[in-house]
Amino acid sequence: MTSLLNPPATSATASRSTRILGLLLIVGFALLLYLAFVATPPEQTQGDSYRILYLHVPSVTVAYLGCLLTTVGSLMVLWKGSDWWDVTALAAARVAAAFTAVVLVSGSIWGRATWGVYWVWDARLTSTAMLMVLLLGYLALRRLPADPPAQSRRAAVLGLLIIPNVILVHYSVTWWRSVHQGSTITRPDAQIDNLMLFTLFYGFLVFGVFFVWLMIHGFRIAWLERQVEAVGLEHAIAERRAEAGVVAPGAVG
Amino acid sequence: MFRDAAIIAGKDLRLEARSRVVISQVAPFALLVLVLFAFALDPDSGALSRAASGLFWVAVLFSGVLAIQRSVAVEGADGNRDALRLTGLDPGGIFVGKAVAVALELLVLEVVLGAGVAILYNATEDGVNSPSSVGLLICAALLATAGIAAASSIYGAIAAGLRVRETLLPLLLLPVLAPVLIGATRAFEAALDGKAGEGWPWVAWLALFAIIYAAVGLATFGSLLEES
């Protein structure tokens, strides 16, 4: 039980390889900051405010990756009853929720600078906000104490539905209205500075590695949480047994 | 499966016929929501009759959440969930039965609310007189109700048996029903404006939503009923 209260170094979530990955990330982010704020020129019409997109766009990608992993994990839980995937789905949903929040906040700030308002009722903004609510609902369910197998199945059905829900919400609001700036990179006549383009793709790379790093730690944390719950339950049962052992003779006598 | 569905739907509707919770509590609540909208939006400015379709569906969703809570609560009492599992009924049939009972209760609520909106919000436009508009209203209402009932039966089962069900269920369910709110509102607006043609694509959308959730419910309800 002492290991529960004072975890030894072996139960830390970092390992040699994740420490190296973490150091690489610090260097990677420093270079990204230099590229995003110093090396790249201001944009023609938006000036400096466009620089927030170096944070915004890779964050969207990470948020979507997290959602995808949550749905895939939930599918595997329902299909195979896999514990590993259950923990992965939870860890991925946490990462996805955090990055969806970053996307909404950075997008609002950019919108204030560019459109003059923090929020417009555009399809992508609205469906991203709904995605945030769906993820918060999923995480709210996962916070509840319950028997692990039943809890996993409930959460898996909920997690499985996150992507279909977002798709349905997205199409309904797109049909409802849309004024969001179209995709710039995929247009054939894209007018984008080479260094800007490099910075953007380099941002994808750094955030991708960051996602992997967060997932490894997130998985280990969620796994340890589960162990603590199991150990805590055993501990509580042992305590009750010990109490019963003391009390029982008196009760009988 | 359909026989099992009929048994479950019959049970839930019989419970409702004897307890009258939806009619005596949820329907008055729905009308109360309509009155509260009138307090919030100035009735003289015409905002109420312009927004009548949207307000109608928001009132349906809010009172629908209460109907679902009720549908889940009747299984929670006295270990009914265990009894339901032990009956050996097909899980798909249980899902369809619960959804059909909820859908019929919602349709009653919609009739009450529809009359309320027409009278209180002065929303009876000329367009509704044409047969195509009436057909659009009925089809949109039926399919939206089917979608709401299917989705809410799934989410009701996810939240069933949890102590925080009352607060968790609306958080899980209402974002999922957003596409129904949008589709049903646009279809109703088209019908009330006398432009029924614009409303039919939304009816198809509502049908798609209902089919998807019915399929998901049939596929997953077995895992949701199972406990450790």
Amino acid at B4: D
Please say whether the beta carbons of B136 and B187 come within 8 A: yes
Domain boundaries, chain A: 54-182+192-239
CA distances from B36 to A209, B47, B48, B114 (A): 51, 14, 11, 16
Whether A148 and chain B come into contact, CB under 8 Å, resolves to yes
CA distances from B53 to B33, B145, B173 (A): 14, 15, 21
| Residue from A158, A160, A162 whose CB has the most chain B CBs within 10 Å, to mutate | A158
Question: Cα dihedral angle (A227, B160, B6, B183), rounded to 10 degrees?
Answer: -110
pTM: 0.84
pLDDT tens-place string over residues B46-81: 788 888 899 999 999 999 999 999 888 888 777 777
pLDDT tens-place string over residues A86-122: 999 999 999 999 999 999 999 999 888 888 888 888 7
Q: Report the alpha-carbon distance of residue A25 to residue A213 in Å, rounded.
A: 9
| Residue from B172, B174, B186 whose CB has the most chain A CBs within 10 Å, to mutate | B172
What distance in Å separates residue A252's CA from the closest CA in chain B? 33
Looking at chain B, how many residues does it have? Answer: 228
3-state secondary structure at position B109 = helix
What distance in Å separates residue A150's CA from the closest CA in chain B? 5
Whether B182 and chain A come into contact, CB under 8 Å, resolves to yes
User: Under an 8 A CB cutoff, do B172 and A156 touch?
Assistant: no
Whether B211 and chain A come into contact, CB under 8 Å, resolves to no
For chain A, give the percent of residues with pLDDT over 70: 85
pLDDT at A120: 83
User: Under an 8 A CB cutoff, do A130 and B226 touch?
Assistant: no
Cβ atoms within 10 A of the Cβ of A139, count? 15
Give me the interface pTM, i.e. the ipTM.
0.86
